[in-house]
Amino acid sequence: MLCKRTYKNQITIPKKVMEEFDGVEYFEARIREGAIVLEPVEVKPIDESRLVQARKKVAELGLTERDVEDAVAWARKK
């Protein structure tokens, strides 16, 4: 099926193709051997992100900003 790139670099994917990806909202775009490859991805809610998990762990351990600064200073000495 033919797709055309617009002046804003947007491509409309034909409806017949998208019917195979019902409910998929996000795709990872890659270039592979000179071809554009789109792979469906699941975007997790922010509360499951690594950053949120790290913040929870820091809170559980009772670490302060000063603790982090000291750890960074210690690591940079070596």
Residue 49 carries which DSSP code? S
Sorted by where each begins, the domain ranges of the chain are 1-43, 46-77
What are the tens digits of pLDDT across the range 27-52? 999 999 999 999 999 887 766 678 88
pLDDT at 13 over 80: yes
Confidence of residue 55 (pLDDT cuts 50, 70, 90): confident
Report the amino acid identity of residue 21: F
* Beta bridge partners of residue 35, listed in sequence order: 32
Query: How far, in Å, are 42, 55, 59, 75 from residue 70 at the CA level?
Result: 38, 18, 17, 9
Count of residues making up the chain: 78
Distance CA 54, CA 32 (A): 34
Distance CA 63, CA 71 (A): 11
